[in-house]
Amino acid sequence: MPISFARRIQQVQPSATLAVDAKAKAMQAQGIDVVGFGAGEPDFTTPQHIVQAGIAAMSGGDTHYGAKRGNELKDAIVAKLKRENELDYAAEQVVVSCGAKHSLYNIVQVLVDEGDEAIIPAPYWVSYLEQVRLAGGKPVIIETGEETGFKISPEQLERAITPKTRLFFFNSPSNPTGAVYTPDEIRALAQVIEKHNLVTISDEIYERLIYGDISPLSLGSLSKKLLEELVITVNGVSKTYAMTGWRIGYAAGPKPIMNAAKKLQSHATSDPAAFSQAGACEALKNLRMSDEAIMHMCEAFDERRKHMIKRIHELPGVSILEPLGAFYAFANVSGVFGRKIGGIEIKSAMDFTNIALEQAKVAVVPGEAFGSPKHVRLSYATSVELIDKGLDRLRDLLK
């Protein structure tokens, strides 16, 4: 008898970002020399002081349910949010999960019901859309492009709100575009959010990766109402501390929402790994050593960013708006559409991606996954040498 799958899983696509990365790694394992610009993760290893804290936790017997340093981690998160983001949360309003992806998943599951709407500005990070679909909700997309710096206006947000709206996803700096909202732009969106009592996820996972002079500003810090009733702040240690494999993310927000998230998580994963919590605790508490490591990584990302943008500008038919945050270059490849390369006509970003991988052995992520079919995403969280190698290949392909 054929297996009958639940509707919720039939409605979703696998994560395109993870799929591209897996495909590139599989080709590398076969001995094919692929240059990978797919993975959205720092290429640095976790700073040693954090690694040592994880090892010490494990060898010290922190191998049970309920990490020994679980409460200390929550307090460290509360202190971080206060110190760096002017967000005043109590420890009971914080839920630590297995990555920020898991934090987002919890929030969507507890707020979005069958038929409910969630507003997502495009280009969006691929999992926002699929998480809404998994909950049976309807993603309502606000389109943006280069002309607005890939940012939405308050008027666009207001127009997207309906009586069925349950949630709004806000992400600055943005994956995949690298767009960063200015404090004034965030304040203008906050007015609409307050006026319509719009529950909002502020995904601030790339907050430490901003190049140039825009200061980060946490949406939830703008008023008591936003903080206490409307905004769920999501963050984690993956990007800032090069800890993607440790799987620690967190959400902080209005008490009833966080209580519901705790209840859900208690039946899904319980707490994240105990030694991972110890590592995250060290990352957030040992400010001197962590800040030094972050500064070093940020400087490297900025150098690579400038280099990659320069090299993308040299590609015929490809254009790019300078990204100001995160570690992604979101290149517009629509100027190549209609051209034939190696006998195959490029009609979409997906075609471009396939040809880049098959003929040039360069892995990028197709914009279709981010709701933006004219673009491809290249991660510059890799060495300048590999950026040159990959961009040389793309230049030769498009010549």
User: What are the residues binding ligand PMP (CB under 6 A)?
Assistant: 40, 99-101, 125, 171, 175, 203, 205, 236, 238, 244, 249
The listed partner (ligand GLU, ligand PMP, none) that binds 249, CB under 5 to 8 Å by sort, is: ligand PMP
Nearest approach in angstroms of CB 16 to ligand PMP is 12
Nearest approach in angstroms of CB 150 to ligand PMP is 13
Nearest approach in angstroms of CB 40 to ligand PMP is 5
Nearest approach in angstroms of CB 221 to ligand GLU is 24
Q: Which is nearer to ligand GLU, 284 or 365 (CB)?
A: 365
Q: Which is nearer to ligand GLU, 41 or 282 (CB)?
A: 41
Count how many residues are written for the chain: 399
Q: Which is nearer to ligand GLU, 41 or 271 (CB)?
A: 41
Residues at the site binding ligand GLU, with contacts judged by CB under 6 A: 15, 17-18, 39-41, 101, 125, 127, 175
User: Dihedral through CA 164, CA 167, CA 170, CA 176, nearest 10?
Assistant: -80
DSSP count for the chain of H helices, then E strands: 14, 15
Nearest approach in angstroms of CB 169 to ligand PMP is 9
**Are the C-beta atoms of residues 244 and 41 closer than 8 Å to each other?**
yes
The listed partner (ligand GLU, ligand PMP, none) that binds 236, CB under 5 to 8 Å by sort, is: ligand PMP
Name the residue with the smallest CB distance to ligand GLU. 40
Q: Which is nearer to ligand GLU, 39 or 226 (CB)?
A: 39
User: Could you tell me where the beta strands, DSSP code E, fall in 111-253?
Assistant: 117-121, 138-142, 165-171, 200-203, 231-236, 249-252
The listed partner (ligand PMP, ligand GLU, none) that binds 15, CB under 5 to 8 Å by sort, is: ligand GLU
Q: Which is nearer to ligand GLU, 24 or 274 (CB)?
A: 24
Q: Is 141 exposed, middle or buried (0-12, 13-18, 19+ CB in 10 A)?
A: middle
Q: Which is nearer to ligand GLU, 39 or 321 (CB)?
A: 39
Nearest approach in angstroms of CB 98 to ligand PMP is 8
Q: Which is nearer to ligand PMP, 23 or 339 (CB)?
A: 23
State the helix-helix crossing angle for 287-313 and 274-285, rounded to 10 degrees.
90
The listed partner (ligand GLU, ligand PMP, none) that binds 18, CB under 5 to 8 Å by sort, is: ligand GLU
Nearest approach in angstroms of CB 254 to ligand GLU is 26
CA distances in angstroms from 364 to 140, 281, 313, 371, 382, listed in the order given: 26, 34, 16, 15, 13
Q: Which is nearer to ligand PMP, 35 or 179 (CB)?
A: 179
What does the buried/exposed string (b/e) look like for 231-270 if buried means 16 or more CB atoms within 10 Å of the residue's CB?
bbbbbbbbbbbbbbebbbbbbbbbeebbebbeebbeeeee
What is the distance between the alpha carbons of residues 73 and 235, in angstroms, rounded to a whole number? Answer: 14
Token digits for 128?
A: 């926002």
Nearest approach in angstroms of CB 67 to ligand GLU is 23
Nearest C-alpha neighbor of 174 from the set 20, 324, 312: 324
The stretches of 35-182 forming alpha helices (DSSP H) are 48-59, 70-85, 100-111, 126-134, 154-160
The listed partner (ligand GLU, ligand PMP, none) that binds 203, CB under 5 to 8 Å by sort, is: ligand PMP
Task: Calculate ∠ Cα 20-24-29, nearest 5°.
Answer: 145
What is the distance between the alpha carbons of residues 192 and 222, in angstroms, rounded to a whole number? Answer: 13
Q: Which is nearer to ligand PMP, 171 or 372 (CB)?
A: 171
The listed partner (ligand GLU, ligand PMP, none) that binds 165, CB under 5 to 8 Å by sort, is: none
* Three-state DSSP class for residue 169: strand
What is the distance between the alpha carbons of residues 308 and 323, in angstroms, rounded to a whole number? Answer: 11
Nearest approach in angstroms of CB 134 to ligand PMP is 15
